[in-house]
Each structure stands twice: as C-alpha cells, then as structure tokens.
Chain A
Amino acid sequence: MASAFEYAPAPESRGIVDIAPSYGLFIDGEFVEAADGKVFKTVSPSTEEVLSEVAQAGEADVDRAVKAARKAFGKWSALPGSERAKYLFRIARIIQERSRELAVLETLDNGKPIKETRDADLPLVAAHFFYYAGWADKLEHAGFGPNAKPLGVAGQVIPWNFPLLMLAWKIAPALATGNTVVLKPAETTPLSALFFADICRQAGLPKGVVNILPGYGDAGAALVAHPDVNKVAFTGSTAVGKEIARTVAGTHKKVTLELGGKGANIVFDDAPIDQAVEGIVNGIFFNQGQVCCAGSRLLVQESIQDELLDSLKRRLSTLRLGDPLDKNTDIGAINSEEQLSRITSLVEQGEAEGAERWSPACEIPTSGYWFAPTLFTNVTQAHRIARDEIFGPVLSVLTFRTPDEAVAKANNTPYGLSAGIWTEKGSRILAVAGKLRAGVVWSNTFNKFDPTSPFGGYKESGFGREGGRHGLEAYLAPSSPEGER
C-alpha cells in the first residue's frame, strides 16, 4: 500500500558501541581463552557481518567456571543481604547508564529492532536488577521461612531471543538470594552477556560470583550435568527442557524450566477491534515472533472473522521490515540462518497441509536472514502450524463459536505458557482466564512484562516461575519445619 509520505531513514548510530575483534570466556573475574583454544564467530543477522570472534566453552571450561563459582559462594552467601543488595543496585544503575550502548549492541547481535531493545529490553533489564536488589536484604519476609538459604552454584542456560533480558531474569534473583552463577548465553548472541561481565567488573562484584561461558549446546549440557552445580535454570525449547529433566533425575539439583509455547489469543465478538488488532500484532510480531509466549494461535469468534481479518491485514501492511538499527523499523531480522530455515520449513508444511498463506507486500533485504510477517487462514487444530511452536512471525488463525469452544481449543496443546483474551465483558474475561491452562493470561493487552509479575508455564511449557516473589523460590532452600534437606 503506497502511503502519502515515505519515512526517511532514521538509523541509530552504531558508533556508540565498541565491539572488540575477540572476546574470551569470563571466569573468576578474568577474560580467558577456552581450554582447548576453540573460538566461534558471532554475526549480525541483518547483514551477516562478522561482529566478533568469541571463545567457545568446552567441558574443561565449565569445570573451571563451576570451581570459581563454588570458591566465591562462601563469601558471597555470607555477605549481609544489604551489601549484596548494593552490588545489585550498582549493576542496575550501570545498566541504565550504558543502556543506549547495550541496546545498539543487542540489536546488532540479535537482529531485533532498536525500537524494541531501547524501549522494551533494556528498561526491563535494569528494572529486574532493581527489583531483586531490594529483595536481597528482605528474604526472611519472602515467605520461604525465616532461614531460607541459597542453594550454591547456579548453572544457567539462556536463549538468543532476549539475550540480556533472560540474563537479568536469571542472574538478578540468583545473586539476590546469595547464589553464585555460571551462565551460558546462546551461541548466536554472546555479546551482551560479555558486556555484562564488564558491568560486573565496573560494579566491583567479587571475582567468581558471575561467570559467563559463551558456547554451544555441549557446554550447556556439561553445565547442567556438572556434579557441583546445585541449581539448574534453563530457558529454551521444550525438547531440550525434557533432556535436562532427564539429566537431573535422581540428583538433588533444583530445576526451573521456561520452555516453549503456542499461545492462544482469543478475540470475542464484542472485543474492541482496533485494540485487539494492535494486541494481535504485538502478540505475534514483537521480536519477529521469536517469543516463547507469543500469541501464535489467533482464535476469532466466527461472526467477526471477516471484519477482524480485514483490519489485521490492513495493519500488517503498515509494518516496516528492514534495518533493525532504523528507529522506525517494526520487524527486524530472524536471529540465525538455522532459525530462518526452521520457520521456512514449517510454513511450507502449513501450505502443503492446505492452510491459506498471506503476507503483506514487503521488500526483503538481500543480505541477512529475513521472514515477512505471515498469516495463515483455514487452519484447523490438526495442522502442524497450529500445534508446533514456529518461533517466527507466523500467525495461525482459527475460529470458534462459543466461549466453551474457545477454551477447549485454546487448551488443546501440550504447552501452557500464555494466552490472550479480548472482550469488553468483565465476567467473561475472568471466567475464561480461570479456565485457561496457562501461566500468564493477558486480557485486553498482550506481551506485557514486569519484574514484579511472575512468569512461567503450565504443562510442557516448563516448571517454576521467574519474576516477582515467586521467582525467589527457585534459588532458595526453604527452612522447612520438617527439618528436611
């Protein structure tokens, strides 16, 4: 659709961030090479430019990092909570000070629009550190007993979709409760975690309290399996989550898993259509749909299907796909070639199974990994695009006639992470929200996050909650009146 006025390019300067040609692993307060000297390259998904060469952690490095974290644990856990709090407050402040630099870095390494790193990721990252900083000296009031103790060394494995935000979700509560950390960022997005290592240095955090090990799945597996790790936290795919659950079976490791989702976004016939459309767009096209709680299944009440789809298509035609550093970009690059091919193959399967594919007219850049916002109609519950997590900008549209049918269809998935409800009727919101088997229900809104608000899934979307008072539980051994543990 041609518009009267074109947008002029509005690129954010990348000059604000200095990316070194190479980075080491961050162990015991130092940047070091991998034991076997291995390195890998991290590229910008929007241009395929090599950003840096990063040391690749192996089993020996995991062992070294866990030892450093163990050594640091005694002193760190013995610090008065008020002192630990001050370290976390320092970190939060430094993140705020460097947020523009980090936003640009994250956009370069991940491919997501600067609009999102600047306005969503970074403010939330700082907010998480602030929130958990305040818990560090109030743990006896958190409801886990008067003597709730840290567990020890936390092994944390995070995904590439929100690299720095997932780091914050993992590290902030771990440190607040007195644990020490070995964190493995994803292989496609290691840079912001390495910059975070530098923030730890600036904050004067004691050596070994935070260790960062860029690497692949093998390093993550070694970390999860390490006998001296007391707590495993993972965000990622359900398949890997199941593998982790098997690995820790029979041990005393505490585990939390934030896994996949196939969120239903339910629109009733009395919903405010314009707001619902914005919510649908935000639900599935935020972060290129690479969000575990994305509203990837749109359930529309049959009577308003045509009207809603017309509005939705019109809105999708205004989305701007392109340079993630441009401040007017809505849709950035897909994180990796591998992810792009996964999305492509699932979408092809959707077409092959008879669903109807639609995308707005949109120019795709010639280099980098891109996928146009895509919508499928004529989708049934049996279609793979209605069952599998695509983790890309692909929306499957299904219909329903009654609230009961909407609930049944929404719950017809092994996942249970998120859901959306759009209706003007309050009692319907509360009734439907009560019946949905999902950890987060957004009504008349979508994809909202806050450090005070617990987040996590039912069923195969994993166990445990992150955020809020609930998020502390994952890192504490309660002082049980039964005298156990």
Chain B
Amino acid sequence: MSTADKNDKTERAERLSVFKTYKLYVGGKFPRSESGRVYEVTDAKGNWLANVPLSSRKDARDAVVAARKAFGAWSGATAYNRGQILYRIAEMLEGRREQYVREVADAEGLSPAKAKSNTAKAAAQVDAAIDRWVWYAGWTDKIAQVVGGGNPVAGPFFNLSSPEPTGVVAVLAPQESSFLGLVSVVAPVIATGNTAIVVASEKSPLPALSLGEVLATSDLPGGVVNILSGRTAEIATPLAAHQDVNAIDLAGADDVLAKELEIAAADNLKRVLRPQPVDYTATPGIDRMTAFLETKTVWHPTGSLGASGSSY
C-alpha cells in the first residue's frame, strides 16, 4: 500500500502486498461514490498510492440525509456518553497508530527521503491528533457550564441559557494538515452534539478515509460523521447551498472559493466559520466549538403568576 512496502526488497519480496480499496464513509457504511468515479492519489513524490472515490453532488446530498438522521440521537445523547465515545475514538486510533503514521508520512511528503526524522514528524502529528480527541472528549460535559448559565433578570423569573448544537455541519477539512488538521476541525463539531459531513483534503484524503474505519468501530453512531473524498470545490458547492445544512466550516477553502461558498450559505443563513490561519499543533481555544452552538434561553416565573395574583 505505501511506497515503503513497495520499495521493500528484503527476503519477502515475493509476497505481493494487498492493496486497500478506499471508500467513503456515509451513514456508518462504506459506499463507493455513487458516481462510480475515482481519482488518483499520490505521495509527495508522485508515486501512486491509491484510487479514491471522486464524490459527486449526490454523495454530498446522501451524506446530508445521513447526518440529519443521526442528529436527533447524537444531540440528545448525554454529554457524558458523547465524551466516552470521543475517548473511545482516541483508544481505537492509538491501536492503529503505526498505520496513521505511515499514511500521514505519505500524505504530507514526510517520506521516504529522510525517513527517520520524517516518520518522527508524522508520528508527532498522529500523537497530537489522538491527544486532541482526548481533549475534546473532556469538553463534552463542560462546555455548557462554561458558556451557559443562569441569568439574574430583574423580576420573579428563573432564566437559564444553555448551549445547543446548531445541527448538521459541513466541514471542509484543511488541505495541508491531512490528519491533525482534520481531527482538529471534526472533533469540536461532534463534541458539542452536531453531526458532520467532512470533505477530506483533496490532495491527501487517505488519512481521512481511514479515519472512517476507526469511527465505525468506536461506538460512534452511524451518520454522526460522514467522510467524502473528491474535489473540494465540487462537493462543497452543493453543501453550502443545501437547505438542510445548518453550518459550514470553510477551513479547507481558498479565499476565492470561501467567498463563493459564504454567499451560497447566506441563502438559509448558515453559520459560517471563515478560513483563518491556524497552528494546529497549538492547544485549541473553544472558538471552534462555540462557532457551532446556539444559545437557548428559557424563562419561567418563580412563584408569582403576575396580575392574577395567584402564586405557587
């Protein structure tokens, strides 16, 4: 599968390695693209790595349907339960760490020239990505306490503001950071109870597609995260215009595409997170979570029922 395998000229050279057919991850299943199209993914040196699905608009729409279907149960799950599942993702990733190190090294041109130091770099990225899941796993049951709370209104009312997920979020994964960047934009979206349609890095989609395999075995309900590979502009356009998508993270769009998508997103007043320079190795703030949260404020009288004079 990787170039490292193919260049392996040891005594076991006779054995032909088994390639993996990379597939999309939609609704908890692994479909090929509805379009039947694929495109070629290479490593930084241009060596062939895999043919991956070139998703179509129909795939994007299917992913929205899956994400919407999953939203009720996921947003309604307890924050504790969501935290457990996010932590489980870290556990599963840890077990497949070597695979991701190889894929990230291939994807980001970190091999094979200076194999050793580059593997170390890829390993650092993967470790940081695993740790990021752990970080967000801990946030699921704390964010409401940090950004919500009681409001001391001037009257006999109980008044409470709580954050709630905004709904279905389209996430354009960053183009350059194929795994750490990807995890950094997906985890905050689902930690807060949203469901996601993720458009993988166009050039380096393999770590994202492999992530689907981990998510599928991490107790994450099908449809909470849906992963598409293909041309970012082609898939993002119908997502930005989709009436049943509530928000869009433009991290993986260039300025021209971002503007176009932001205009399309205005049609149903999607929440938009604009692209901005981010150092994904730094500890994230809470902005990526709050960007996809609504605040609901509930009022209720305390005791007095107003003009009627009746009381509790």
Contacts and interface: CB of A to CB of B under 8 A. Distances in A.
Contacts of A468: 151, 161
Given A250-B255, A448-B155, A484-B276, 13 more contacts: A242-B266, A250-B259, A275-B305, A414-B268, A441-B298, A442-B299, A443-B300, A448-B157, A452-B153, A458-B294, A458-B296, A482-B285, A484-B277
B296 A439 contact: yes
Contact of A257 (B153, B268, B269, B299): B269
Residue from B146, B152, B268, B269 whose CB has the most chain A CB atoms within 10 Å: B269
Given A445-B300, A482-B282, A453 B294 contact: no
Q: Is the interface of A mostly helix, strand, loop or mixed?
A: loop
Contacts of A249: 259, 262-263, 265-266
Interface stretch (A78-86, A179-187, A380-388, A459-467): A459-467
Contacts of B147: 143, 470
30 contacts: A238-B269, A246-B266, A249-B259, A249-B262, A272-B310, A278-B306, A429-B300, A433-B296, A439-B296, A440-B298, A444-B301, A445-B306, A448-B157, A450-B151, A450-B159, A452-B152, A456-B295, A458-B166, A458-B294, A459-B268, A465-B295, A468-B151, A468-B161, A470-B161, A481-B282, A481-B283, A482-B279, A482-B282, A482-B285, A483-B282
B294 A439 contact: yes
B269 A242 contact: yes
Contacts of A441: 296-299
B259 A272 contact: no
A455 B153 CA distance: 13
Contacts of B306: 275, 278, 445
B113 interface: no
Nearest to B262: A249
A478 interface: yes
Given A145-B285, A481-B284, A278 B307 contact: yes
A434 to B, nearest CB: 8
Nearest to B282: A482
Contact of B295 (A246, A436, A470, A484): A470
Residue from B153, B268, B277 whose CB has the most chain A CB atoms within 10 Å: B153
Interface string A145-181: 1000000000000000000000000000000000000
Contacts of B284: 481-482
A480 B278 CA distance: 10
Contacts of A242: 266-267, 269
A245 interface: yes
Contacts of A481: 282-285
B256 to A, nearest CB: 8
Interface of A: 127, 143, 145, 238, 241-243, 245-246, 249-250, 252, 257, 259, 272, 274-275, 278, 414, 429, 433, 436, 438-445, 448, 450, 452-456, 458-460, 462-463, 465, 468, 470, 478, 480-485
B266 A453 contact: no
A127 to B, nearest CB: 7
B278 A482 contact: yes
B7 interface: no
B246 interface: yes
Residue from B265, B266, B279 whose CB has the most chain A CB atoms within 10 Å: B266
A469 to B, nearest CB: 8
Contacts of B152: 452
B172 to A, nearest CB: 15
A439 B269 contact: no
B242 interface: no
A127 B55 CA distance: 54
Contacts of B16: none
Nearest to A441: B298
Nearest to B307: A278
A242 to B, nearest CB: 5
B32 interface: no
Contact of B308 (A257, A275, A443, A450): A275
A272 B305 contact: yes
Nearest to A124: B154
A250 B262 contact: yes
Contact of A459 (B259, B267, B269, B298): B269
Contacts of B277: 484
B153 A485 contact: no
Contacts of A143: 146-147
The 4 tightest CB contacts between A and B, nearest first, are: A250-B259, A245-B266, A249-B262, A450-B153
Contacts of B157: 445, 448, 450
A246 B154 contact: no
Contacts of A257: 269
B153 A259 contact: no
Contacts of B155: 448, 450
Interface in B84-109: none
Contacts of A482: 278-279, 282, 284-285, 287
Nearest to B267: A242
A355 to B, nearest CB: 26
Contacts of A250: 255, 258-259, 262-263
A141 to B, nearest CB: 13
Contact of A444 (B159, B271, B300): B300
Contact of A453 (B159, B166, B262, B283): B159
Residue from A272, A463, A478 whose CB has the most chain B CB atoms within 10 Å: A463
B75 to A, nearest CB: 10
Contact of A454 (B151, B267, B287): B151
B297 A444 contact: no
Contacts of A127: 154
Residue from A238, A242, A482, A483 whose CB has the most chain B CB atoms within 10 Å: A482
Contacts of A470: 147, 161, 295
Contacts of A456: 295
B64 to A, nearest CB: 16
Residue from A278, A442, A465, A478 whose CB has the most chain B CB atoms within 10 Å: A442
Interface string B58-80: 00000000000000000000000
